[in-house]
Structure 1
Amino acid sequence: MSIILKAENISKQYRLGLVGTGTISHDLNRWWAGIRGKQDPYLKVGSVNDRSTKADSHYVWALRDINFEVQKGEVLGIIGKNGAGKSTLLKILSRVTIPTTGEIKTKGRIASLLEVGTGFHPELTGRENIYLNGAILGMTKSEIKSKEDEIIDFSGCARYVDTPVKRYSSGMRVRLAFAVAAFLEPDILVIDEVLAVGDAEFQKKAVGKMQDISKGDGRTVLFVSHNMAVVKSLCTRAVVLEHGKTVFEGGTNDAVHFYLNHTKNRSLSYISKKKELANNFVKSVKIITSHKGFQEFNGKLNVEITIYCFEKVQSPAVSYQILNSDNIPIIHELVLNAEQSFGQERGSYKLISSISKLKLYEGEYTLNVYFADNFSKTTFDKLFEVCHFEVVNSNKRPYYWQTGSAIYKENDTQWVIKKINEDTIT
């Protein structure tokens, strides 16, 4: 296959706190360095793009030294945490912004869907925007007209196609924008997370269309998503970004595995960092596995959840989900006050859930934990992807329990609740 897109040493630097890229003095310094044949002096400074830490420089590198190649007909996934630089990279690839350093080489037309309604004029109708976007892609009026009916039918917006786009919902805009981008036959289709705005039916249609584009038509797709199941089903290869840098590039399954396990809390326990006792919340979560450091197939698993009640809760409910490596919940356990009394007075309570024989496929798992009032439907606290643990099958019997997401769990979970006579965090 031939290379259709190549990124060479792509970096993007932004100045924090200002609308512009700098000041007059900075622009003069850059100009003077250029006159003397010197490097831009501000490329030597700048902090790593870590949104969780305080900036130590006025400049930040949104991307730093990104290199990759994409073959014709390939579907490349780009994954990473929020703020990792995924959208910035797609904007550079789509020519929305230019890189600070580096170069993008492409062959053919690029169609991009980066944000809801990108490229649509709100005062124009849906039909007029179809022709506008086609013209931007370099297509003739007759070429666009030949695809018009397919675009409208796929989008499901036939009733509103002659209505100004400003009156569309965000889902309708995404439907029409994706249909335009997909059916006007670009050589490279760039899709950001916007498909998450659409409903389940449209997401399924969109993924199917992207598969047709790559496999049937031999066109290239660059796809950004936080839905790892879709990434694994659609993409042939993936790149993992972290703090603006490439930390992994390879097969999709390996990339997803690296991303999920590289970013998860590897501890078997969670302790809240809250210092005040003015609300109801989850103080701690702890997993006690059948063996130290790992959970054996068919072994006993204990989940200990400590909650703090600032005041009486009318109908307290505590639950947890066990998530597989694709972040899909496969077990949901729940205990209500109607079953065992707790939360009726201020203080701390330890809830212990015991599963005597946990039959999970081999793999890595985490917990989501919830504390709520079942009567008022108020959620006091919710924790996501805490307490990472691994399931192994040491004796390999029965042989069919291998890596995957299916589960068989005997219905014998028991809960034990204890009132803790203390009113402190620790």
Structure 2
Amino acid sequence: MKKDIILKAENISKQYRLGQVGTGTLSHDINRWWYKIRGKENPYLKIGETNDRSTKGNSDYVWALQDINFEVERGEVLGIIGKNGAGKSTLLKILSKVTAPTTGSIKSRGRIASLLEVGTGFNGEMTGRENIFLNGAILGMTKKEIASKLDEIIEFSGCERYIDTPVKRYSSGMTVRLAFAVAAFLEPEILVIDEVLAVGDAEFQKKAIGKMKDISKGQGRTVLFVSHNMAAVKSLCTRGIVLEHGKMTFEGNIDEAITQYLINEKSDERLYNSNEYKGENCKISDTKIVNADALITNGIDLILSTTFTSVINKSYSITISIFRESVLAFVATSFYKDEQIRCPGEYKIEFVIPKYLLNPGFHNIDVSIVDETGNFEQYLYVNEILSFNVIDDNLRRGNKYNKGWGGIVSPILQINWIKNN
């Protein structure tokens, strides 16, 4: 079956000169011009460093994007994820034709509507109603088309009371509400959305995500979505690409893309942590997963071990909280009846996580120590003491069809079959 490609990026790269506005010095401009009239390549494309914002470079040029290639089908929702400074917004500006790529080309079919920054394209002196018509005109709509959608736009935005008030008096959340409503209801073939939804409240984010699902599934239009909210990306997107330092490091299934992003985000991924963490009259150290190497499958019982030391005679409980892709999967704790953690001394404590409980994905573990004598005072809390990735062993039913398992955890339960006579 032939793919219906609506957007195609070919060898997209974007180079910037640091520390100056414009193309650079006069000598550089003359050099570029001299190479161009001789039919040669821009000499400054051969220099420049990777866009790593955390390190100091030696070149005045930096590649915000390098050799980006991907295709988007009609009706697809593509998630573009990566750390701050990875090149996501630069890519969206190029796709929206706000800025031109240094090399490469964008091929698209249909009208593109963009929500790149709060208030982009809005005139603060004009009212909300006037800005709806202004933005619609920018998107290529006729006045009649905009008027036919006006009531729906105003109702969806929730700004009806202020619709005839100048936008400069709107809060950032109100501005985003109105801008999103305009872009969503004026029916572009491709809707490009940057992190702007983070400004809206929870009710509007839920409403906006529902509208984007309707746009892609019900109306067959295409959405490109950038967000650091992995829950929103997971619920909305069908496919994802991961950017790191201006390069595309992954393209594929959205669950795998999120896992790859989280691994990049947690570059200190570890199965062993030798650090000591001290609380009031106690400490933990040498926390590790003892029965796995760098590759963890969900088909084994994971044994989490930590060393606990107490200097006083007190009853403690130890609790672990396991998060899958930033969402709490479960909490497990010891109980006050564990009399062995009462006398002063050093103890080795092990938690056994049953096989197939954890779904594939990136996981973090938090540890806390609590007084179990009655007041439940917390003596110590360690955030993200361990990080690890779980992959599927492909032995469970259904996995051979590449459907996987939904949810945060997927325990195997005892099921009793009782035949009725």
| Structure 1 and Structure 2 fold alike (TM over 0.5) | yes
Quote the Cα distance in structure 1 between the aligned partners of 2:237 and 2:125.
Answer: 36
Matched, 1:238 2:235: no
Quote the Cα distance in structure 2 between the aligned partners of 1:327 and 1:266.
Answer: 14
After TM superposition, list the pairs within 5 Å mapping 1:237-386 onto structure 2. Answer: 237-261=239-263, 264=266, 265-270=268-273, 285-289=287-291, 294=296, 299=301, 301-304=303-306, 321-324=321-324, 326-332=325-331, 354=351, 360-369=357-366, 382-383=383-384, 386=387
Matched, 1:184 2:160: no
After TM superposition, list the pairs within 5 Å mapping 1:48-197 onto structure 2. Answer: 48-197=50-199
**1:219 matched residue in structure 2:** 221
Quote the Cα distance in structure 2 between the aligned partners of 1:318 and 1:162.
Answer: 58
Measured after TM superposition, the shift of residue 318 of structure 1 is 8.9
Q: What secondary structure, in the 3-state scheme, does the structure 2 residue paired with 1:79 have? A: strand
Matched-pair contact (CA < 8 Å) for 1:79–1:241:
yes
Sequence identity (%): 58
Q: Flag the 1:376–1:96 CA change in 2: closer, same or farther, 3 A.
A: farther
Matched-pair contact (CA < 8 Å) for 2:366–2:381:
no
Matched-pair contact (CA < 8 Å) for 2:358–2:390:
no
Matched-pair contact (CA < 8 Å) for 1:239–1:255:
yes
**1:13 matched residue in structure 2:** 15
Quote the Cα distance in structure 1 between the aligned partners of 2:176 and 2:257.
Answer: 28
Measured after TM superposition, the shift of residue 226 of structure 1 is 2.5
Matched-pair contact (CA < 8 Å) for 1:301–1:358:
no
AA aligned opposite 2:110: G
Measured after TM superposition, the shift of residue 235 of structure 1 is 2.4
Q: Across the two proteins, how many residue pairs are aligned to each other? A: 389
**Ranges in structure 2 where 5+ consecutive residues have no aligned partner:** 278-282, 310-315, 398-403, 414-421
AA aligned opposite 2:136: G
Matched-pair contact (CA < 8 Å) for 1:49–1:84:
yes
Q: Give TM-score, length-normalised by structure 2.
A: 0.76
AA aligned opposite 2:357: L
Q: Flag the 1:48–1:334 CA change in 2: closer, same or farther, 3 A.
A: farther
Measured after TM superposition, the shift of residue 355 of structure 1 is 5.1
Matched-pair contact (CA < 8 Å) for 2:272–2:287:
yes
Matched-pair contact (CA < 8 Å) for 1:285–1:306:
no
Quote the Cα distance in structure 1 between the aligned partners of 2:199 and 2:98.
Answer: 22
Matched-pair contact (CA < 8 Å) for 2:359–2:409:
no
Matched, 1:210 2:212: yes
Quote the Cα distance in structure 2 between the aligned partners of 1:188 and 1:136.
Answer: 15
Q: Give TM-score, length-normalised by structure 1.
A: 0.75
**Ranges in structure 1 where 5+ consecutive residues have no aligned partner:** 275-280, 308-315, 343-348, 397-401, 411-426
Which of these residues, 27, 35, 38, is aligned with residue 36 of structure 1? Answer: 38
Mean CA deviation greater in 114-123 or 356-365: 356-365
Quote the Cα distance in structure 2 between the aligned partners of 1:19 and 1:376.
Answer: 56
Q: What secondary structure, in the 3-state scheme, does the structure 2 residue paired with 1:360 have? A: coil
Quote the Cα distance in structure 2 between the aligned partners of 1:38 and 1:29.
Answer: 11
AA aligned opposite 2:321: Q
Quote the Cα distance in structure 1 between the aligned partners of 2:73 and 2:361.
Answer: 32
Measured after TM superposition, the shift of residue 333 of structure 1 is 5.7
Measured after TM superposition, the shift of residue 93 of structure 1 is 0.9
Measured after TM superposition, the shift of residue 59 of structure 1 is 0.8
- Summarize deviations over 1:4-26 as a string: whole Å, max 9, x none: 22222211001122233312221
Matched-pair contact (CA < 8 Å) for 2:272–2:386:
no
Matched-pair contact (CA < 8 Å) for 1:289–1:295:
no
